[in-house]
Amino acid sequence: MAKVNIRLDAELVVEVMVLAGVGSPQDAVEAVVRDYIARGHRTEARTERTDQSLREVDVKPQDTQA
């Protein structure tokens, strides 16, 4: 697995460590990234279901009123 080195503000990392309950800066950053990715997947899943529902409504013929 490839590794990436980045520089972050120490206060931000410490705050994430406290909020996530982890003991190392590496674990804190990984937790944030994993949460961000999971949130994106959940959003995609909800959006896909909504889009599918809208497509089903559009496909059904509408009653014409005379």
pLDDT of residue 45: 81
pLDDT of residue 54: 62
Condensed to tens digits (0 to 9), the pLDDT of residues 8-30 reads: 999 999 999 999 999 999 999 99
pLDDT of residue 50: 66
Condensed to tens digits (0 to 9), the pLDDT of residues 33-54 reads: 999 999 998 888 877 766 666 6
pLDDT of residue 60: 60
Burial 41-52 (b: 16+ CB within 10 A, else e): eeeeeeeeeeee
Name the one residue in this structure whose structure tokens are 């997947």. Answer: 41
